[in-house]
Chains A and B, each alone.
Chain A
Amino acid sequence: MLLSAKDLTIGYSGRPLLGPLSLGFEPGQLWCVLGRNGAGKTTLIRTLLALLPPLGGTCTRAKALRLGYLPQKALFDELYPMSVRDLVLMGADRGTSFIKRRSPESIRRADAAIDALELGALANVRYRDLSEGQKQRVLMARLMTGNPELAFLDEPTTAMDQLAEERAYQTLACQREAHRMTLVIVTHDFSLARRYADHALFVDDAERKVVVGSVDEVLASEAFQKRYAFVGARDT
């Protein structure tokens, strides 16, 4: 088990939002996190990443687990003089490795990620000069450069055009297969969930509970159907 949560209660400022819930992530899985805006999806993955303290329960990580995170809205300061390649290479820095020269392997991984996400022509362009969709591709390339064992991606393709989105998911699927990477993706796109994910987690804000299981089980669950009955016939 890469990361597991037991009786986890999440929330802000002492106010519980969800839980208690228990779940675990195994190597090579692809999870989709579904739920309405404001349901607590981002709070959940930020708690799992230890960016927020849990209100109850425990999270246990495998020793020396390599984590990756692609935030929903990266509000990076655009004053930073940072080229696309510089930012992608940031993914290679882990722990205190920033003191050392980057290894040829990490540079090769960064270049491969840049190529895979069709960023080659933009490699020397300043990050701040990119469109929002291009920025999301850069952050995805940074995530891949870090070669994480477990990566959390919070709505990673919302600003991408359809082609770029498809390409991004294909790249992630390849990465998962090649490196047995575990991906946890927050999305509102049920068709993508069906196509790529094997596990799903539905955050039900009305009942303040979480449904966990295979994609088919979660999409067929009573809680999900009740909430998304109006789109059920069309998308699920």
Chain B
Amino acid sequence: MTGPEALPEGLSVDDLVLGDRAEARPNQALPAEPEHVHPSAPQPEDHGFGHTHSDHHPVDHPHETHHLVESQPTWQGFVDGWELGLYRDAVLAGALAAAALSILGVFIVLRRAVFASASIGQAAGLGVVAAFYAGIHWGVDVPPLVGAFASAVLATALLALRTTARRLPHDALLGFGFLVAAAGAVALGDRVAQEAHEVSAILFGTAVVVSSFDVMLLAGVFLVVVLLVFASWRGIAFSGFDPEGARVQQLPVRVLDWGFWLLVAATVAITTRVLGALPVFAFSVLPPLAAILSTRRLARTLPVAGSIGAVCASAGYVAAYFMALPVGATQALCAALVLGLTLLRR
């Protein structure tokens, strides 16, 4: 079974996409309009186990996309969906995003800024919701990706403020940023009920199928991250490990810091829109931590972290398909399992 012609009548691969294009919104694309999912009050059945609930979105679980083709999650069904491009693109997108986030996450973890990525992810989610809000209520067409990026960059700039000058501990500022972004996304999301599922997907990571545009975008993000990190990892490491020593040796510490955080903001903004805030946070923390704990040299930590992230994203997707679990949460749990095994090995 190959090609979109294998889909039910009137449905194309692009129709199944969770994307930012106006014509490819999930609630427009799916065969049946889902019932309202309130983003501020996510119920277990909204993102939880089982696939017989009638009140959750059919694409929260990969095999439910497959419901469109077959009824039970089987290997054959998965292979068919893979050949069709549905699962292949989603797995590839997850793997690329997870690898990029995990490579950057090594420096995020080493800089003790784990909650920075959570705050930036939440801010990106708020940006997407704000873009929907602007479109629905003000008639201003802001692409969600632009909203996510602008919001993530703004959050990055705020988090990079010299907190001592403001008499605020840095962790308090991170907590403030996270809470404002999370609460803002939920509150604003309440006003864009038409996009409730997309808002929910962004906040909790329930995206299952992705467009080929998203795959290309994530491949580009991965490539940029790998190239920039490959070119400057020694400088980023030095300026994080010993900022004063780096300044004495005339490294451009500020440029490296800002460049790094802008790269994090862009990566988190793009991946949050495709994967959701939860898996983005998980991939930027758990695989890097597992890699840091299991390697002796930073030069090896980076590729190991990227590989763990990619494997966890893929394995998490497959597990979610067969176990009828939400994708984002299952991918995060896979990464947590790898970290747990790493800790046990030590």
> How distant is the Cα of A50 from the Cα of B16 in the complex, in angstroms?
58
The answer to whether B249 touches A81, judged by C-beta atoms less than 8 angstroms apart, is: no
Q: Is B301 an interface residue (CB 8 A)?
A: yes
Out of B249, B292, B301, which one reaches A94, CB within 8 Å? B249
Q: Is A212 an interface residue (CB 8 A)?
A: no
Find chain A residues with CB under 8 A from B299 CB: 86
The answer to whether B245 touches A99, judged by C-beta atoms less than 8 angstroms apart, is: no
Stretch of A64-72, A163-171, A193-201, A203-211 that contacts chain B: A64-72
> How distant is the Cα of A82 from the Cα of B333 in the complex, in angstroms?
28
The number of chain B residues touching the other chain, given as a range, is: 20 to 34
How far apart are A123's CB and chain B's nearest CB, in angstroms?
11
Q: Is B235 an interface residue (CB 8 A)?
A: yes
The answer to whether B112 touches A77, judged by C-beta atoms less than 8 angstroms apart, is: yes
Stretch of B42-50, B236-244, B315-323 that contacts chain A: B236-244
Find chain B residues with CB under 8 A from A98 CB: 232, 234-235, 238, 251
The answer to whether B250 touches A94, judged by C-beta atoms less than 8 angstroms apart, is: yes
CB-CB contacts of B259-295 with A at 8 A, as 1s and 0s? 0000000000000000000000000000000001001
The answer to whether A80 touches B296, judged by C-beta atoms less than 8 angstroms apart, is: no
The answer to whether A95 touches B250, judged by C-beta atoms less than 8 angstroms apart, is: yes
Within 8 A of A (CB), among B173-225: none
Q: Is B142 an interface residue (CB 8 A)?
A: no
Find chain A residues with CB under 8 A from B242 CB: 74, 76, 90
Q: Is B103 an interface residue (CB 8 A)?
A: no
How far apart are A70's CB and chain B's nearest CB, in angstroms?
9
The answer to whether B112 touches A93, judged by C-beta atoms less than 8 angstroms apart, is: no
CB-CB contacts of A78-92 with B at 8 A, as 1s and 0s? 011111001000110
The answer to whether B241 touches A94, judged by C-beta atoms less than 8 angstroms apart, is: no
Tally of chain A residues near chain B (CB < 8 A):
27
How far apart are B231's CB and chain A's nearest CB, in angstroms?
5
Given contacts A86-B297, A93-B234, A99-B232, contact A77 B249 (CB under 8 A): no
> How distant is the Cα of A140 from the Cα of B112 in the complex, in angstroms?
26
How far apart are A220's CB and chain B's nearest CB, in angstroms?
33
The answer to whether A77 touches B241, judged by C-beta atoms less than 8 angstroms apart, is: yes
Q: Is A231 an interface residue (CB 8 A)?
A: no
How far apart are B193's CB and chain A's nearest CB, in angstroms?
44
The answer to whether B247 touches A51, judged by C-beta atoms less than 8 angstroms apart, is: yes
Q: Is A37 an interface residue (CB 8 A)?
A: no
Q: Is B252 an interface residue (CB 8 A)?
A: yes
Closest residue on chain B to residue A75 by CB atoms: B242
Find chain B residues with CB under 8 A from A82 CB: 241, 297-298
The answer to whether B110 touches A80, judged by C-beta atoms less than 8 angstroms apart, is: yes
How far apart are B77's CB and chain A's nearest CB, in angstroms?
42
The answer to whether A69 touches B241, judged by C-beta atoms less than 8 angstroms apart, is: no
Within 8 A of B (CB), among A106-153: 124, 126, 146
The answer to whether B248 touches A51, judged by C-beta atoms less than 8 angstroms apart, is: yes
Out of B245, B252, B292, B296, which one reaches A96, CB within 8 Å? B252
Find chain A residues with CB under 8 A from B110 CB: 77, 79-80
How far apart are A206's CB and chain B's nearest CB, in angstroms?
29
Find chain A residues with CB under 8 A from B118 CB: none
Find chain B residues with CB under 8 A from A94 CB: 249-251
Given contacts A51-B247, A68-B248, contact A80 B241 (CB under 8 A): yes
Find chain B residues with CB under 8 A from A91 CB: 249
The answer to whether A81 touches B295, judged by C-beta atoms less than 8 angstroms apart, is: yes
How far apart are A77's CB and chain B's nearest CB, in angstroms?
7
Q: Is B308 an interface residue (CB 8 A)?
A: no
The answer to whether B296 touches A124, judged by C-beta atoms less than 8 angstroms apart, is: yes
Out of A49, A51, A74, A86, which one reaches B298, CB within 8 Å? A86
Find chain A residues with CB under 8 A from B244 CB: 51, 69, 71
Q: Is B109 an interface residue (CB 8 A)?
A: yes
Find chain B residues with CB under 8 A from A50 CB: 247
Which 9 A-B residue pairs are closest in the complex by CB-CB distance?
A98-B235, A98-B234, A69-B248, A94-B249, A95-B250, A81-B301, A81-B295, A67-B248, A80-B241
> CB within 8 Å of B: which residues of A?
49-51, 67-69, 71, 74, 76-77, 79-83, 86, 90-91, 93-96, 98-99, 124, 126, 146
A sample of 17 inter-chain contacts (CB < 8 A) reads A49-B248, A51-B248, A67-B248, A67-B250, A79-B109, A80-B237, A80-B241, A81-B296, A81-B298, A82-B241, A86-B297, A93-B251, A94-B249, A95-B251, A96-B252, A98-B238, A98-B251
> CB within 8 Å of A: which residues of B?
109-110, 112, 231-232, 234-235, 237-238, 241-242, 244-245, 247-252, 292, 295-301
